[in-house]
Amino acid sequence: MNGAAAYSAGAVARRLGVAVTTLRTWHQRYGMGPSLHEPGHHRRYTEQDIQRLELMQRLIVEGVAPAEAARWAQRPALTMASPEVGPNLSAVRGLSRAALRLDAPAVRQRVAEAVRELGVTAAWDGVLRPVLAGIGERYAATGEFVEVEHLVSGCISAVLGAVPRPPVGVPPKILLACADDEQHSLPIEAVAAALAADGVPARSLGARVPPEALLAAVRRTGPAAVLVWSHLTSTGAPEQLAAILAERARPLVIAAAGPGWPRPSVPSGVLLPDSLAEALGMLRSVHDQPSA
């Protein structure tokens, strides 16, 4: 046998508190068996095998069907594959499990706890975005979990929208919008909520803002800063930004956020924040400037 830790079915059954026959059933029905095999020896469970079984067991206890729990446990773990998660591992796992169960109250509670305990920016970067990215990766690989993404997105949107806004009398200097045909609006909702938490008001036009509508809003409201989000390369047409730059009374700050913008083609004078924190810094700097 090699030097890796190896466990018999009996040892694993005792560790999980189940019968050996249960392990055999999970192996035969769901492929959750031991992965370590050397000629002349019985198959043995590795520590990684046991971790997958423990995850499957937790999901079953929380109401997930065994077959679905096994499929989730056998995929690369979202929380282990995302080094950015770090100290938020427990929060990410909890939110992921609630999402898989389609337990909307639990998902909303987990999201609200993350925002309350970490703040909007840290919650977005350390918990919410990694979970959404993990769901997206699984959809890309399997075509599944669309319903999970919709439920989680809706809960995140509701929590971010509930962050108290500044008083109505404070005039917003910041305009937020998604690029033309861009439907991923959660990032600008996170920006708006993070600004609001700091007492900074912003106007948000939401998803799929046509260029002519964005220009009309710029002309009508005269913002000091505009941030346009593009998640997909199909929506990140630089012409949308060039039109704002061409305005006589153009905003002091024009920022193109998100991975959808073709950076070499983004017009000179447009800022390209690499993170939510960097985008917030750009926008707050404008808000802090005295009005003309």
φ, ψ dihedrals at 234, nearest 5°:
-70, -15
Pairing of β 174-178 and β 203-204: parallel
DSSP per residue over 210-248, as a string?
-HHHHHHHHHHH--SEEEEE--STTT--THHHHHHHT-T
Tens-level pLDDT at each residue, the chain (292 residues): 444 578 999 999 999 999 999 999 999 999 999 988 766 677 899 988 998 898 888 778 767 778 878 887 876 544 333 444 567 888 988 898 899 889 999 999 999 999 999 999 999 999 999 899 888 877 776 778 899 999 999 999 999 999 999 988 888 999 999 999 999 999 999 999 999 999 999 999 999 999 999 999 999 999 999 999 999 999 999 999 999 999 998 999 999 999 999 989 999 999 999 999 999 999 998 876 766 5
pLDDT of residue 40: 65
Predicted TM-score (pTM) of this structure: 0.76
Dig out the tokens for 202 from the structure.
């912003």
The pLDDT of residue 258 is 93
Look-up: residue for tokens 């018999």?
8
Radius of gyration of the chain (CA): 24
Amino acid at 282: M
Sign of the dihedral defined by the CA atoms of residues 249, 255, 261, 267, in that order: positive
User: For residue 250, what is the DSSP state?
Assistant: -
140 exposed, middle or buried (CB, 10 Å; 0-12, 13-18, 19+)? exposed
